[in-house]
Chains A and B, each alone.
Chain A
Amino acid sequence: MLQYTLKRILLAIPVVFFISVIVFYIIQLPPGDYVSNYAAEASVAGEVFTQADMDAMRADLGLDRPVYEQYFIWIKDIVFYGDFGFSFNYNKPVLAVIEQYMGLTLTVSLVTMAFQYLVAIPIGIYCAVKQYSIGDYFFSGLSFLGMATPHFLMAVILMFLSYTWFGDPLLGLFSAEYVNAPWSMDKAIDLAKHMVIPVIVIGLSGTADLIRVMRGQMLDELNKPNVVTARAKGLSERKILFKYPTRAALNPIVSTFGWSLTSIFTGSTITAIVLNLPIQGPVMFNALLGQDMYLAGTWLLFMALLTVLGTLISDILLAWLDPKIRTEFRGT
């Protein structure tokens, strides 16, 4: 197992390198760069920006060099100094920007994720055990509805309903008076209140998927002879349910957990834009739009790394969870 893990990590290195090249290439793809973007914004605001100004700015930022040179400088700094570059937009080192949004991003993602798993797995089991019951139809219908509504629209509608019903659209993650306030009970409650819409919007769709998979897997497993065997042994239905079908049905769900690692950070971007959540997704989206290339690049690279890592975790989980694959390693 250890050897396998090590081998996989070694294999991942060229992948990450390759991805970093592609990432950098992609960022460069759209015409224009940060400077032209900056100039455009400035001129909208009524400032005057001349070609000379732009050239000077490019030279300062090193954007006048060939792309490959920019890439190598970037990579060199990452590898040797752990320096991921500088965000033009924030006037801060890239890492500082990422750090600024990390806390709330994790909060939002983990809460919605926990919501998804905690809600979806029991419901999936329930729907499979009580297949075609009213409950099955109800939950399936609800989860489908959540999945079928585009996030951005659902977010806007919920926001508007919240406004018409409660007079507060619950924008952002905190009410204005708590944004810069130190943590307190009231602030936490305020956060919880503001989490309702994101959790519903982001959580519901993910839940739908999970319920589907869980239900399908459970149905497969419930009909397997080992359930009958267990029953013949005198096990209680509850124990059978959790020990045999549930355990087996969780396999694909647990093993795909690694895949959702990146979606922790990017999955909710569109919703976050609509709901004005101060989390990573929108920041990165703007970095991409504004050609804040080191920020965008680092972010993408980070995501790529997470994907690779997630795949690795998934594979290890898969191997670890499935005795067949696990013993294959033991055997060789």
Chain B
Amino acid sequence: MRRFGKRQAAAAEPAMDKDANYSSQWRLIYVRFKKHKLARISLVVLALLYAGALFAQFLAPYGLENYDSKYVNAPPMKLRFVDAEGKFHIQPFVYGLKSGRDPETMRKVFTSDTEKKYSLQFFVKGEKYKFLGLVPSSTHLIGVKEPGRLFLLGTDALGRDLFSRILLGSQVSLSIPLVGVGISFVLGLIIGGASGYFGGWLDAVIQRVIEIIRSFPTLPLWMALSAAIPPRIPVVRMYFYIVIIFAFIEWTGLARVVRGKFISLKNEDYVVAAKIAGVSDTKIIVKHLLPGFISYLVVATTLAIPGMILAETAMSFLGLGIRSPATSWGVLLQEAQKIDNIALYPWKIIPLGTVILTVLTFNFLGDGLRDAADPYKR
């Protein structure tokens, strides 16, 4: 006999009456989130992106310092199944590249050398690297036999494979915003909360501090930083510095919101009641105040992550931050934005796609979370 299962029931419950079920708020959020298709897809995409970053060295056919003057500014190669004679191959292949220069414009011109076929191979031995930063290895997921070259997304001005650079760059661009946002989230929540909840002189002082920090000019700070940082500092550490600075400014916005919400919520009857009942301040904040505006915080923080990814690109534009051969998406975009690249080698804009994709997915994810966390959702 078909029975109406309890599990399904849980999903439908909030639709009935609001006072239905309060015990499992996070579970409800989870259930509602699962219903948000775009957010679910975004989560999958993000997971793929992060997995790509984690295993970048393995996935990328080439390393960051694989310069080759023969293949400067080469356009993306076509993976082919059918060769020039119309024969079909199960294993995809690429043609070799013949390069020359246009005598008039000195532009590098590439033509496919249909004589030379290089099949796409898996688990190819190539440049040495450390898998996950630990295990030395030289196996790359895909590649072609030397002297063939595989440039799925073309090459840059130094003849490096753009596909590899995007993958390897994602390690920097994807990992560090999380840290920045984490810091600003924690700082904003704690400080803003304390300011709003306790009020009084503490509030006054914190507000002043926030004001000072907010008024702090970021640009010269970055410039001073880049001038002050020693040359052989590991690039990632450099980026960490800047992200921390960034987070340091970012948290203030969050803190203000939190404070405002706290002020308007702290006189709610249920909060006052809890206070009188002797519930500890921390517990009141965590149990009673936070759920009141968690959705806003979620939106704010998920929106802050892409903000930092973009900030990194902006810093690269100003010549601050990561420097080639170390690579981030900001570095790639900075290289792409030169007018001759856009005019002559448009494939260099491809990293923009990954930036947009990441920013979008983070946003959709945040959106899904927001909708899921919304206590009034029907």
Contacts and interface: CB of A to CB of B under 8 A. Distances in A.
A148 B360 contact: yes
A117 interface: no
A297 to B, nearest CB: 10
B234 to A, nearest CB: 22
B223 A288 contact: yes
Contacts of A141: 360
A12 B215 CA distance: 12
Interface string B324-364: 00000000010011010011000001001001101110011
Contact of A216 (B215, B224, B299): B299
B376 A311 contact: no
Interface residues of B, number: 53
B30 interface: no
Interface stretch (A19-27, A51-59, A62-70, A77-85): A19-27
Interface in B262-319: 263-264, 267, 295-296, 299, 303, 306, 310, 313-314, 317-318
A29 B221 CA distance: 9
Interface string A5-43: 000000110110011001100110111000000000000
A26 B217 contact: yes
A162 interface: no
Secondary structure call for the B interface: helix
B211 A307 contact: yes
B48 to A, nearest CB: 17
B31 interface: no
Contacts of A255: 260
A149 B296 CA distance: 24
A324 B214 CA distance: 26
Contacts, number: 136
B217 A15 contact: no
A307 B214 contact: yes
Given A26-B220, A219-B371, A270 B208 contact: no
Given A157-B349, A220-B374, A148 B216 contact: no
Contact of A322 (B212, B264, B306, B314): B264
Contact of B264 (A26, A27, A324): A324
Contact of A157 (B204, B342, B355, B377): B342
A113 B296 CA distance: 23
Nearest to A32: B227
B40 to A, nearest CB: 14
A197 interface: no
A180 to B, nearest CB: 26
Given A216-B370, A300-B220, A318-B260, A160 B343 contact: yes
B20 interface: no
Contacts of A311: 211, 214
A145 B336 contact: no
Given A148-B355, A149-B355, 5 more contacts: A14-B208, A27-B220, A149-B356, A156-B339, A223-B377
15 contacts: A11-B204, A18-B212, A22-B216, A29-B224, A144-B359, A144-B360, A152-B314, A153-B337, A157-B349, A160-B342, A255-B260, A259-B214, A270-B318, A300-B217, A304-B215
Interface of B: 204, 208, 211-212, 214-217, 219-221, 223-224, 227-228, 253, 257, 260, 263-264, 267, 295-296, 299, 303, 306, 310, 313-314, 317-318, 333, 336-337, 339, 342-343, 349, 352, 355-356, 358-360, 363-364, 367, 370-371, 374, 376-378
Q: Which 8 pairs across A and B sit closest by C-beta, in order of nearness?
A: A223-B376, A148-B359, A29-B224, A304-B215, A307-B215, A30-B227, A148-B356, A150-B313
